[in-house]
């Protein structure tokens, strides 16, 4: 059995903590480990192979860093140039394995879910394995215990199993996210489950059903795989071909049409952590039902989630309110309205606001930088370079830079000179100078960079050499 972990979502309902460049699966929301790391670590039991990961190519360095931090192994990375929903993502993974002569069972898991009871998860998986080995396409259903309007629902037939093992039932209906009254009817009936987005089936079975029910996705994905670039364990999916692929979910493309769909119930403390209210549900609360993170003081308030990220946050006299503070944005919402945070993000995107894209701290393959201050012709950044890492060899056409070492050792290249700087030493990088910053040491290098010039955009870069294989010319949001 091979886990196929889908890590392409943006988690927009958890804005402003989740951003497109650093979405929720890479955040430590419920434990010390991130949701992504937890997803892989709960698969460490007999019979389970290392996972095959499908993620956006812009996240590959975050993925590698989080894998390395927990010493986690994988079978490889499928790097999407952009999202095309779950059906193409799963198809690309299944096709890669078949092209390698492999046809194992695929356990498809989103990278951003919480499962509290690992033993219960394994028991449901054992049932699902029996069904999948006999040609079934298994969907893990969560017993609907409350009228949630943010989930899809599945109706199953508890009577006629048609040869399915005990505890496995045929799917009779898929229902999109209902209104509250309809959701309450589903809960009362006892015949409905929440759609977890977790599946188990053999690779060839899924592809046969995809070819039958959505041949456009099937054909386009095969061509995209043939044209993809392979670099060791990485497969960079061909963007020109993938752009022609229909954008569709596995539910619409296959599961709602196939006669092989079946449900295995799973009561394992599952949550998709899809909104601030669902995060409140799974976190520990005080005697008044409040969840707090960071430097937070709560007075005369109940059932609130208050998340601070640096500043002191105080709340008084609130009930069922979510407050999330980050360095560049604050979001306040009633818990009953948190599903609409996505509408807010869409509105910010239409205004071309950068706050939906990146945090102030922007992660790069060599480390990260944080914008400290900005004016008309200057910008101050805090830059951290990982041990042994280096920025690209580059030049800027419109700005000069001053570098001051705060801690660690910097190896600086400026035109034809290369030299070392240590704590409290500094240097000046003139406009159009060819330069590079590297960390030759064994501890993180931290510097303060002061930029000055007529244009300070991240796309003012001409990249001359880069060990991470990034484009030679500057790209918006991809500098350094």
Under the banding of pLDDT at 50, 70 and 90, the label for residue 34 is very high
pLDDT at 162 over 70: no
pLDDT at 475 over 60: no
Under the banding of pLDDT at 50, 70 and 90, the label for residue 430 is very high
Give percent of the chain with pLDDT exceeding 70.
96
**What is the rounded distance in angstroms from the CA atom of residue 406 to the CA atom of residue 224?**
47
pLDDT at 474 over 80: no
Quick: pLDDT tens for 54-78.
999 989 888 988 998 899 999 999 9
The pLDDT assigned to 47 comes to: 84
Higher per-residue pLDDT: 39 or 460: 39
DSSP run (H or E) holding 37: helix 35-41
Pull the structure tokens for residue 31: 């434990």
**What is the rounded distance in angstroms from the CA atom of residue 380 to the CA atom of residue 373?**
5
- Checking DSSP bridges between strand 153-157 and strand 270-271, what pairing results, if any? unpaired
pLDDT at 11 over 60: yes
pLDDT at 473 over 60: no
* Cα 53 to chain centroid, rounded: 11
Please choose, from the candidates 258, 255, 222, the residue with its C-alpha nearest in 3D space to the C-alpha of residue 238.
222
The pLDDT assigned to 471 comes to: 64
DSSP run (H or E) holding 344: helix 341-350
**What is the rounded distance in angstroms from the CA atom of residue 170 to the CA atom of residue 156?**
6
The pLDDT assigned to 480 comes to: 62
Quick: pLDDT tens for 72-126.
999 999 999 999 999 999 999 999 999 999 999 999 999 999 999 999 999 999 9
Hey, which residues does 367 pair with through a beta bridge?
364, 385
DSSP 48: P
Give percent of the chain with pLDDT exceeding 90.
74
| Predicted TM-score (pTM) of this structure | 0.86
108, with CB counted inside 10 A (0-12, 13-18, 19+), is: buried
The pLDDT assigned to 476 comes to: 41
pLDDT at 45 over 70: yes
Quick: pLDDT tens for 331-378.
999 999 998 999 999 999 999 998 998 887 888 889 989 988 888 899
């Amino acid at each position: 059995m091979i886990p196929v972990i889908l890590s392409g979502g943006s988690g927009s309902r958890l804005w402003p903590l989740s951003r497109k460049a650093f979405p929720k699966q890479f955040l430590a929301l419920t434990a010390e480990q991130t949701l992504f790391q937890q997803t892989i670590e709960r698969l460490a039991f007999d019979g389970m192979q290392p996972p095959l990961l499908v993620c956006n190519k812009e996240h590959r360095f975050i993925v590698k860093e989080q894998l390395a931090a927990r010493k986690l192994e994988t079978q490889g990375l499928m790097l999407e140039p952009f999202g095309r929903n779950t059906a193409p993502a799963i198809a690309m993974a299944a096709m890669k394995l078949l092209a390698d002569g492999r046809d194992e069972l695929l356990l498809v898991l989103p990278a951003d879910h919480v499962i509290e009871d690992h033993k219960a998860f394994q028991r449901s998986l054992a049932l699902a394995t029996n069904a999948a080995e006999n040609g079934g396409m298994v969907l893990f259903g969560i017993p609907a215990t409350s009228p949630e309007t943010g989930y899809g629902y599945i109706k199953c037939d508890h009577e006629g199993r048609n040869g399915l093992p005990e505890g496995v039932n045929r799917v009779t209906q898929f229902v999109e996210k209902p209104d509250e009254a309809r959701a309450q009817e589903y809960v009362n009936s006892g015949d409905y489950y929440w759609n977890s987005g977790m599946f188990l089936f053999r690779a060839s079975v899924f592809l046969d059903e995809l070819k039958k029910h959505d041949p456009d996705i099937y054909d386009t994905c095969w061509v995209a795989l043939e044209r993809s670039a392979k670099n060791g364990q990485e497969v960079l999916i061909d963007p020109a071909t993938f752009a022609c692929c229909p954008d569709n979910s596995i539910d619409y493309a296959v599961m709602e049409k196939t006669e092989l769909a079946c449900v295995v119930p799973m009561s394992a403390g599952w949550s998709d952590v899809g909104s601030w209210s669902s995060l409140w549900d799974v976190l520990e609360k005080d005697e008044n039902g409040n969840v707090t993170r960071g430097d937070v003081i709560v007075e005369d308030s109940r059932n609130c989630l208050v998340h601070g990220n640096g500043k002191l946050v105080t709340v008084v006299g609130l009930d069922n309110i979510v407050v999330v503070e980050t360095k560049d944005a604050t979001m306040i919402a009633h818990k009953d309205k948190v599903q609409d945070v996505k509408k807010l993000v869409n509105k910010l995107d239409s205004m071309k606001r950068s706050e939906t894209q990146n945090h102030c701290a922007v992660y790069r393959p060599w480390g990260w930088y944080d914008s400290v201050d900005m004016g008309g012709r200057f910008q101050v950044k805090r830059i951290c370079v990982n041990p042994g890492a280096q920025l690209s060899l580059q030049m800027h056409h419109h700005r000069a830079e001053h570098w001051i070492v705060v801690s660690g050792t910097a190896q600086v290249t400026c035109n034809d000179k290369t030299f070392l700087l240590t704590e409290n030493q500094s240097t000046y990088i003139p406009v159009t100078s060819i330069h590079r910053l590297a960390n030759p040491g064994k501890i993180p290098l931290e510097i303060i960079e002061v930029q000055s010039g007529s244009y300070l955009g991240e796309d003012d870069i001409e990249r001359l050499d880069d060990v991470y294989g990034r484009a030679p010319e500057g790209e918006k949001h991809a500098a350094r």
